[in-house]
Amino acid sequence: MKRATLRLSAISLLLGTLQTFAQTPATLPAPSPEVPAPLTTPASKEVAVIKTNKGEMTVEFWSDVAPETVKNFKKLSKEGFYKDTAFHRIIKGFMIQGGDPKTKDLSQESAWGTGDPGYKIKAEFNERKHERGVLSMARSNDPDSAGSQFFICLDAAPFLDGKYTAFGHVIKGEDVLLKIGDTPVVSNGRERSKPTERIAVESITIVSPQVPTPSAAPATPSAAPATTAPAAK
């Protein structure tokens, strides 16, 4: 009888220990905090800011359909090639044309429209439509005769589609474009397209949109206050 009592006591003690163990949650190591992925700066998309004496126009490029033309335009712009040129040809409801280095010199006015950077680039005709605000390369009868001269459409010109290299479009400053397009013109001896006032291209700048960067963590204050210079009087 005494042995049976001892056995029952041992079983009860064992069950009690198991029950206590089951009710006590296992201690697991705390999960390590997730390390945030490093901030990545999206690739900037360069645009051209055409500054004229009538205001500014911002142009977005179509590098996907005319990569070499865009590269050439950016190169010339960054070199300051277009600085102080002019829109020498304006046809209301059609387009405004510029980019001729000879327009920097009033004594060469009779030759305006024939200038180039000293080389030609190959055509990159594409499926983009010539609509209002579209930037395209001017050329002669030879498809591969474009160099630096360009035009911006004032309205749709479907007869140019697939025959001239469209390589961008105005995304800001359409009001400036239309203002230039309304400039009074006279005949230049061949057509009525010579503006009665100089429409200057003061510069063409290639810029990248600014990408905001995360602000730095505040510095731990020091025991003594920082010394500051007195304000200027």
Give, in words, the CATH class of 47-207: mainly beta
Cα dihedral 182, 83, 68, 90, rounded to 10, equals 20
CB neighbour list of residue 145: distance below 8 Å, 6 or more residues apart? 120, 139
Which pLDDT belongs to residue 122? 98
Asked if 167 and 61 count as a contact pair (C-beta separation under 8 A), the reply is yes
How many percent of the chain have pLDDT more than 70?
Answer: 71
Over residues 205-222, the mean pLDDT reads 61
The residue whose two tokens read 């044309």 is 97
Over residues 111-136, the mean pLDDT reads 98
Is residue 86 predicted with pLDDT exceeding 90?
yes
pLDDT band at 233 (very low <50, low <70, confident <90, very high): very low
pLDDT band at 209 (very low <50, low <70, confident <90, very high): confident
Over residues 143-150, the mean pLDDT reads 98
Which pLDDT belongs to residue 18? 39
Question: Range with the lowest mean pLDDT among 83-87, 183-187, 219-223?
Answer: 219-223
Asked if 146 and 165 count as a contact pair (C-beta separation under 8 A), the reply is yes
Is residue 198 predicted with pLDDT exceeding 70?
yes
Q: Which two tokens stand for residue 75?
A: 């190169």
> What are the angstrom distances between the C-alpha of 145 and each of 2, 16, 110, 124?
117, 97, 20, 12
Using a cut of 0.85, tell me whether the model's pTM lies above it.
Answer: no
* Residue 166: closest CA among 135, 141, 132, 133: 135
Is residue 11 predicted with pLDDT exceeding 90?
no
- Whole-number Å distance between alpha carbons of 32 and 183: 68
Is residue 28 predicted with pLDDT exceeding 50?
no
pLDDT band at 232 (very low <50, low <70, confident <90, very high): very low
Which pLDDT belongs to residue 10? 44
pLDDT in tens, 39-69: 433 334 899 999 999 999 999 999 999 999 9
Q: What does the domain layout of the chain look like in residue ranges?
A: 47-207
Mean pLDDT of all residues in the chain? 82
Is residue 216 predicted with pLDDT exceeding 70?
no
